[in-house]
Structure 1
Amino acid sequence: MSKKEKVAFYTLGCKLNYAESSIIAGKMAGEGYDIVDFDEKPDIFIINTCSVTDFADRKNRKIIRKAKKINSDGKVIVIGCYAQLKPEEISEIEGVNLVLGAGEKFNIDKYLNSMPEEKFISCEIEDVSGFHSAYSSGDRTRSFLKIQTGCDYICTYCTIPKARGASRSGTSHDILADAGEIAEKGIKEIVLTGVNIGDYGKGIEEDIDFLGLLKKLDKVEGIERIRISSIEP
């Protein structure tokens, strides 16, 4: 990177997206990028999308077009559920430089260092595995702490399994470490976040369920309040 490029994030949708945007932004800041507000004419726009409804899809497209109006020379990178579900559709929107699916969004820096010729990189959702820890910080009085992602329930009205893959969890060791970091930042309230956190324990080699994790988190010094979100889809 020849100069300190400015990067802006715009996050739509659920608390899980906010947690993931925050951790990606922190990683990029650590690599020398300057994280700025969306309206500060950044060099790179990263739009973390939602795709729960047709309205959400329309809002995604509106934000993508807004980015090009702010800086016509800026790079636009689209990640999130919309990017996994409809990568070709997004890549055809004027001004989009890159679309990264569920398996690639945590490696944005790799693609920025060597921008690929193809505009979208997305694997089959069945091939997405592993768990990337994430929590939000710096923009709220509470932190969204990711403990689970994906869903194994195939409901006719819901696209989440196709967007995020199978249900999988973070280890209690990693989640407790994240909670400790949150407390060190002076944040006293965490919101446990996932697609269906009642499924916590799936995808890890650890004999623990959601209640067991709660009991461990209750012992983290500095965390005074724990909120629960999305305990069922």
Structure 2
Amino acid sequence: MINTAVFQNKKAAYYTLGCKLNFSETSTFGKMLMELGVTGVQEGEKADLCLINTCSVTEVADHKCRQAIHRMVRENPGAFVVVTGCYAQLESERVSKIEGVDLVLGSNEKADLIQFLSDAWTSKESEREMGESNENNSLHQYFSVKTKNIKSFAPSCSRGNRTRYFLKVQDGCDYYCTYCTIPYARGNSRNPSIDSLVAQAQKASEEGGKEIVLTGVNIGDFGKTTGESFVDLVKALDQVEGIERYRISSMEPDLLSDELIDFCATSRAFMPHFHIPLQSGSDEVLRLMHRRYDKALFAHK
């Protein structure tokens, strides 16, 4: 059970590294916390809660994550600090040992972030009231299952202070490319149903949303969980009244079907624009990277 009292009249600071999907998830966490009585810090204020959503695409990203954690701890003394995201999944024990970090949640556990946070923050508040040192207590907890056991999907349809929403349609990746850590950090490809995503888009429209960006780790792989397809999702979302524009985030060239291209060229609301990654112009390098396309396929798209 969530202890709502621990959240009342608290102020939170958020820091996000990495992709649009991370920003969307952080925004959703912030909205959930706001509903429990937590407000965002204003300039010059100290936070009671710090949430860092991390990235781990490269060693540089890992270094930036550690820097961000140290900075948040330093600037908000005494705050409850929770770290989640890809770096938290891959290096959960290491992150938990950073001074000032109270809770680390991997990719599977962040779907239940509020419950984990409620339990751990309540424990910390109780120990403070009893005057106990938390140096050797149950805090500094970390929770992360192995990659093969990452099954949860945390829904996210969020916005900042504008009318553009970010709708998470997919998570995880089955493309174990040579250089990439994301499948290990996010787990295998999974997705919710088209009906549930249409319902989220309709709610965004009712809230005044005009534009939705579809986000995910490998969104063209949508459908692995439900037996549906990405083009069917696009066609269903195009019918949601009130949403004037949809944009599709980065999509692998081998998953960008001609049917999808043709539909977006004439659809009511989907913008005729695609971001198609190209890691190399060399077929040999693409093969060594375990990419699932070559120059000819990319040129065709």
Fold match (TM-score > 0.5): yes
Is 1:131 matched with 2:136? no
Is 1:16 matched with 2:17? no
CA contact (8 A) 1:197 1:210 kept: yes
Residues 140 and 125 of structure 1: CA distance in aligned 2, closer, same or farther (over 3 Å) = farther
User: Of the two structures, which has the highest relative contact order with CA contacts closer than 8 Å and spacing of 6 or more?
Assistant: 1
- Structure with higher Rg: it is 2
Please provide the CA RMSD for this pair.
1.7
Equivalent of residue 219 in structure 1, options 232, 239, 252: 239
CA contact (8 A) 1:147 1:169 kept: yes
Residue 133 of structure 2 is matched in structure 1 by none
Residue 177 of structure 1 is matched in structure 2 by 199
Report Cα offsets for 1:118-170 as digits up to 9, x if no partner.
52111112111132210221334411110001001111100111001010111
Distance 1:168 1:185 in 2: 27
Q: Which of 175-184 and 37-46 deviates more? A: 37-46
Residue 171 of structure 2 is matched in structure 1 by 149
Matched residue type, 1:167: S
Residue 201 of structure 1 is matched in structure 2 by 223
Is 1:168 matched with 2:190? yes
1:26, CA displacement in angstroms?
1.3
Equivalent of residue 96 in structure 1, options 67, 92, 101: 101
List gaps (5 residues or longer) in structure 1. Answer: none
Report Cα offsets for 1:153-204 as digits up to 9, x if no partner.
1111001110010101111111011111211222211111011111111112
Compute the TM-score of the two structures, normalised by the length of structure 2.
0.73
Residues 21 and 38 of structure 1: CA distance in aligned 2, closer, same or farther (over 3 Å) = farther
1:38, CA displacement in angstroms?
7.8
Residues 210 and 39 of structure 1: CA distance in aligned 2, closer, same or farther (over 3 Å) = farther
1:39, CA displacement in angstroms?
5.6
Report Cα offsets for 1:66-101 as digits up to 9, x if no partner.
112221111111000000001112112111111110
Q: Equivalences for 1:71-86 in 2 at 5 Å?
A: 71-86=76-91
Residue 51 of structure 1 is matched in structure 2 by 56
CA contact (8 A) 1:18 1:136 kept: no
Compare the two structures and name the one with the higher helix fraction: 2
CA contact (8 A) 1:149 1:168 kept: yes
Distance 1:60 1:217 in 2: 35
Pairs aligned (count): 231
Distance 2:15 2:180 in 1: 23
Residue 230 of structure 1 is matched in structure 2 by 250
CA contact (8 A) 1:188 1:224 kept: yes
Compute the TM-score of the two structures, normalised by the length of structure 1.
0.93
Residues 38 and 59 of structure 1: CA distance in aligned 2, closer, same or farther (over 3 Å) = farther
1:224, CA displacement in angstroms?
0.9
Is 1:36 matched with 2:41? yes
SS in 2 for 1:222: coil
CA contact (8 A) 1:24 1:106 kept: no
1:60, CA displacement in angstroms?
0.8
Report Cα offsets for 1:29-67 as digits up to 9, x if no partner.
112222335863110100000111111111111111111
Residues 132 and 109 of structure 1: CA distance in aligned 2, closer, same or farther (over 3 Å) = closer
Distance 2:233 2:113 in 1: 31
Residues 172 and 215 of structure 1: CA distance in aligned 2, closer, same or farther (over 3 Å) = same
Distance 2:117 2:232 in 1: 40
